[in-house]
Amino acid sequence: RKEVEQDPGPFNVPEGATVAFNCTYSNSASQSFFWYRQDCRKEPKLLMSVYSSGNEDGRFTAQLNRASQYISLLIRDSKLSDSATYLCVVNGGGATNKLIFGTGTLLAVQP
C-alpha cells in the first residue's frame, strides 16, 4: 500500500464547478497534513494546512478524518487559474519532520 494515495486524475471541470479531491494515508502516527499546489514545471507551494476540525480558506475547504486516515480538498466556483496538480502531503510520523507526498491530482478547469 502506498504511504499516501491519491487519484491522479485528470479532473476536467468547467469554470464555476465544485470539485473534490480525496487522499488516504497509511501511517496512523502522522500528525501534520497539508495540501500543496504545483503548477506545470514549477515548484510545489503550500495551499493550506489541514486540521482535525476542518478548515476553510476562501473557495477552498480541507477536511481530515483521522479514524479513516482520509483527507479531502473541496474547491468551489473553480477558476481557470486553479488548473494545477494538487499534492496531498503528510508527515512521516514519530519525531520526524519528514514529509510524504502523494503523486498528485491533476485539475484542468475548462472555459
Partner 1 sequence: ETGVTQTPRHLVMGMTNKKSLKCEQHLGHNAMYWYKQSAKKPLELMFVYNFKEQTENNSVPSRFSPECPNSSHLFLHLHTLQPEDSALYLCASSQELNSGRALSNEQFFGPGTRLTVL
Residue ranges in contact with partner 1 by CB under 8 A: 4, 29, 31-32, 34, 42-46, 49, 87, 91-104
- In the complex with partner 1, the residue whose CB is nearer, 60 or 76, is 60
- In the complex with partner 1, the residue whose CB is nearer, 60 or 101, is 101
CB of 104 to partner 1, least distance (A): 7
81: left (phi over 0), alpha (psi -120 to 50) or beta: alpha
CB of 95 to partner 1, least distance (A): 4
35 residue type, one letter: W
Greatest extent of the chain over all pairs of C-alpha atoms, in Å: 45
- How far apart CA 105 and CA 37 sit, in angstroms, is 10
CB of 17 to partner 1, least distance (A): 26
- How far apart CA 38 and CA 40 sit, in angstroms, is 7
- In the complex with partner 1, the residue whose CB is nearer, 78 or 104, is 104
The residue to which cell 515548484 is assigned: 43
